[in-house]
Structure 1
Amino acid sequence: MKIQSEQYQISKVQQDQRKLFVYWDDGHRSTFHYIWLRDNCYCSVCGDPRHGEKRFRIIDVPLDIKPLSVSCDSGNTLEIVWEPDSHKSIYNAQWLRQHCYSATEREHRQHRPILWDSNIVTNLPQIDYEEVQSADKSRLQLLEHLRDYGICFLRNVPPQKGELESFAQSFGPLLETNYGRVFEIVVDPEESQKSVANSQIDLIPHTDDAYQYAPPGIIFFHCLMANNDSSGQSTFVDGFKIAEVLRQEDGDAFDLLCRYEVSYQKYYSDRIDMRFSSPVFSLDSGGNLQEVRISNLFPAPLDLPEEAIEPFYIAYRKLMQLYTDPRYCLKQGLQPGELVMFNNHRVLHGRTAIGIQNQRRHLRYCSVDRDYFESWRRLLDRNLNFQE
């Protein structure tokens, strides 16, 4: 949640049997239930507000808890003394407004991703590597690109081994995968048995490691060498965009892909046998997209009720027509010294086929959990706002 720059004051409060009504100087009214207010007391007895640690247990008070008294200090602080133990809770006005759960305020706090198609090529979310390394504002801009677009390109990255790991680890620990912490993506017939990334074939856009319970979060590709021709170009598709297109064009097909699970599997030699099933689209309680999981590279047989098989295939075909449609695909031939980062839970990626006579392409791959990026974005946003 972005820190609000506005400073709000409480103009008055009113009470009924179950909740408190807070009126603000801008005309807005918040409703706070007593049980919610008591649950969110972070005094020294109930918890530690510095770390979000809670000691209070909701079962320690009745559901119909009521205040003995309510007072407001100059519109900046709300103080409540509770029945029956006279426990005192103090709430900062700005904190209350930031956590107001009225429909309008919850809508205001909802982040809206910027959806894109192939036209993004004319205005790529990109930034200079040295700027990110040297300035917090540029680093925050990078994180906001990832939040808004799900992808960001970095230019002028030294095309040498070690640079990728050093940069990625500045955000969080590298994930250990089936291929190690860093994976060399080159054409290699033997290694292609372990990973299609090392093959020459065309790879349609997909979610990496969809067969895992928790696929990689933010993926990094760093280019060290590129082909002399246009083969082996990286491709990217905004999974949120195609989901919304499908929702508008065929709501029933969209609902089927939210409801039923697709199965994925990865089997290699007696060393790996991974399987997972998940809906293609995962939504939050408000119907907003949270995750897209698509991979035609590692499918397992559908395991659905028999009456759902044919309708599901109709929906799934429509989806594939969208994510393989050039109108929605960003095609970029990464060059030495370029690095791309993207949210694997939103952006699908692939690659055009690599010509048999041209196999110079060398990318290095690693990934970091999304949690660390969200944490860094909040911290930088807060710190830079305080400095201003």
Structure 2
Amino acid sequence: MTGLISMVYSRVYFSFRKLLSNTQAVLRSTTVLGSRRITFAAFRTIVTAAQEQHSIQVNWDKEKDTWSKFHYEWLRDNCPCTKCRHPDFDQRLLSSLEDATPSNIDVKGSDVVEIEWKDGHRSRYSYKWLLDNSYCHHNLNKPETEKRREVILWDRDTMVNPPVVNYDDVMANDKGLLELLRNIYCFGVCFVPDTPVAPEAMMELATKIGPIRQTYYGTQWFMEAGNMSVNHVSYTKEKILSHTDNPYLQHPPGLFCLHAVEYVSGEGGETTLTDGFKIASYIKQHNPEYFSLLSNVSVLYKIAFKDKLLKDEAIYKSRQYTFTVDDDGEMMGVNINHVDRRPLDEISLSQAKKTLSCGADEAMKKMYSALHLLHQLVYSGQFTYKVGLQPGNMVLMNNWRVSHGRNILSTGFRRISGIYLNRDEWMSKLMVLEQHND
């Protein structure tokens, strides 16, 4: 702190102390070395804050060298006052990118720092708000602002009792719907038995989650194995390789609802489910270089539809990463679709060369080695749960995590129905239900 004494800006120190009584905190002010020091009670934590040239540094624990720094531009941009943000919707009302020069910094009450800006505007920041929104800090374990949900990885051997929520429980109240969505978040999949086979039953459950995603197939589509009105492998009786749906769209659907409407007993036709997060975790652990390639090299997906009855055509294409990780390095999504993957192109090669810092020959060889390992794991059966969907048994899966397929339908008949929702919709419903039910 002594190195800052010579700075043009004056020092402002704040000390926050817990009072040992139930009475309201008492504000005490003194003057030390020409700077103002203020001591008050707050959250059982002693806090000092010093005004620097470009920021305020808040020391949460001096002994542990725990501090946060808040720049003036950031503070002004995020002013929480009702003039700058709507009190009910927490949305900005004004452009707050104004002159971020403070003319005075003070303490009002027991836990609020108030800044008066050069243009006369006043901003108030609570201790808790600063702690929750700290972005530049040292040795600080931030409090959890959102409950961390559990993600359980699974394979053929560990998926012994798949998650289940009965249809009536989902439709009856928010508790059943919350259990369904939590299972989807945790396992990537949840079964809903006792679903009425009437098409509207599936639609009613899906719309209870959120708006339906419209695709080329429509809002709710039906697929009969062997009905070739649409030129797509899914309409055949052939084996369908495990895949995530619609990677050829810029934003693939986040939730896939699959319902068995009719099924005539025969040989084959089982539905396969594979945990893409489990496979990504396996590759990351056993071959980090391949994981890096699959996370940093985008692949082109493309499909051309032609409806023979409607005489309608459509072409979709988009680039996707096989593995998508968030800013914390946690898995966010997978794109596994060997059927609709186009040839690796110049963009893919350039990204592979950059990722590996190598030439074209080595980059292409290792990229195909990574894809070979991925496909070997996906199609080996080791990470796959197999089930024969019967009428009335619906399954909902996170299309950004769980790939699905179908064994060859040698005999018999199967008619299924499908509905998509965006990831934002089912995640929004999950967060709202958690907020109101926990």
From the superposition, tell whether residues 107 and 135 of structure 1 become closer, same or farther in structure 2 (CA, over 3 Å): closer
From the superposition, tell whether residues 79 and 248 of structure 1 become closer, same or farther in structure 2 (CA, over 3 Å): same
> Structure 2 matches for 1:325-364, cutoff 5 A?
325-355=380-410, 357-359=411-413, 361-364=414-417
Partner of 1:273: 315
Partner of 1:188: 226
Deviation at 1:67, TM superposition (A): 6.9
Partner of 1:3: none
Deviation at 1:115, TM superposition (A): 1.3
CA distance in 1, matches of 2:160, 2:405: 20
* Aligned partner of 2:431 among 374, 378, 382: 378
Q: Which segments of 5 or more consecutive residues in structure 1 lack a partner in the other structure?
A: 1-7
From the superposition, tell whether residues 115 and 72 of structure 1 become closer, same or farther in structure 2 (CA, over 3 Å): farther
Question: 3-state SS of the aligned residue for 1:380?
Answer: helix
From the superposition, tell whether residues 148 and 61 of structure 1 become closer, same or farther in structure 2 (CA, over 3 Å): farther
From the superposition, tell whether residues 259 and 250 of structure 1 become closer, same or farther in structure 2 (CA, over 3 Å): same
Contact 2:99 2:119 in 1 (8 A): no
Deviation at 1:378, TM superposition (A): 1.5
CA distance in 1, matches of 2:128, 2:270: 49
Higher relative contact order (CA 8 A, sep 6+): 1
Contact 2:303 2:340 in 1 (8 A): yes
CA distance in 2, matches of 1:162, 1:302: 42
1:296 aligns with 2:338: yes
Contact 2:325 2:331 in 1 (8 A): yes
Partner of 1:285: 327
From the superposition, tell whether residues 98 and 325 of structure 1 become closer, same or farther in structure 2 (CA, over 3 Å): farther
Once the two structures are superposed, residues 302-334 of structure 1 have per-residue CA deviations (whole angstroms, 9 ceiling, x without a partner) of: 103343221110110011111112110011111
CA distance in 2, matches of 1:180, 1:245: 36
Question: 3-state SS of the aligned residue for 2:332?
Answer: strand
> Structure 2 matches for 1:227-246, cutoff 5 A?
227-229=264-266, 231-246=268-283
Question: 3-state SS of the aligned residue for 1:104?
Answer: coil
1:153 aligns with 2:191: yes
> Structure 2 matches for 1:64-213, cutoff 5 A?
65-66=101-102, 68-71=104-107, 73-74=109-110, 77-101=111-135, 104-105=141-142, 111=149, 113-191=151-229, 193-213=230-250
Amino acid at match of 2:124: I
Pick which of 245-254 and 53-62 moved more: 53-62
Amino acid at match of 2:437: L
* Aligned partner of 2:92 among 32, 54, 57: 54
Contact 1:34 1:66 in 2 (8 A): no
Deviation at 1:132, TM superposition (A): 1.4
Amino acid at match of 2:376: Q
From the superposition, tell whether residues 154 and 80 of structure 1 become closer, same or farther in structure 2 (CA, over 3 Å): same
From the superposition, tell whether residues 342 and 95 of structure 1 become closer, same or farther in structure 2 (CA, over 3 Å): farther
1:368 aligns with 2:410: no
Partner of 2:366: 311
Q: When the two structures are superposed, what TM-score results if normalisation uses the length of structure 2?
A: 0.77
Identity level (%) = 27
Amino acid at match of 2:416: L
CA distance in 2, matches of 1:294, 1:159: 30
Deviation at 1:272, TM superposition (A): 1.6
Contact 2:59 2:66 in 1 (8 A): yes
Once the two structures are superposed, residues 323-365 of structure 1 have per-residue CA deviations (whole angstroms, 9 ceiling, x without a partner) of: 112110011111111111111111111111111x311x12110
Question: 3-state SS of the aligned residue for 2:293?
Answer: helix
What do you get for the CA RMSD once the two structures are aligned? 2.5
Contact 1:157 1:339 in 2 (8 A): yes
CA distance in 2, matches of 1:93, 1:130: 46
From the superposition, tell whether residues 371 and 181 of structure 1 become closer, same or farther in structure 2 (CA, over 3 Å): same
Larger Rg: 2
Deviation at 1:79, TM superposition (A): 3.3
1:38 aligns with 2:91: no
Deviation at 1:135, TM superposition (A): 2.2
From the superposition, tell whether residues 73 and 137 of structure 1 become closer, same or farther in structure 2 (CA, over 3 Å): farther
Q: Which segments of 5 or more consecutive residues in structure 2 lack a partner in the other structure?
A: 1-41, 307-311, 350-359
From the superposition, tell whether residues 47 and 107 of structure 1 become closer, same or farther in structure 2 (CA, over 3 Å): closer
CA distance in 1, matches of 2:224, 2:421: 21
Deviation at 1:160, TM superposition (A): 1.4
Q: When the two structures are superposed, what TM-score results if normalisation uses the length of structure 1?
A: 0.87
CA distance in 2, matches of 1:86, 1:29: 32
Contact 1:237 1:329 in 2 (8 A): yes
Question: 3-state SS of the aligned residue for 1:82?
Answer: strand
Once the two structures are superposed, residues 146-184 of structure 1 have per-residue CA deviations (whole angstroms, 9 ceiling, x without a partner) of: 222221111211121211111111222211111111110
Alignment size in residue pairs: 369
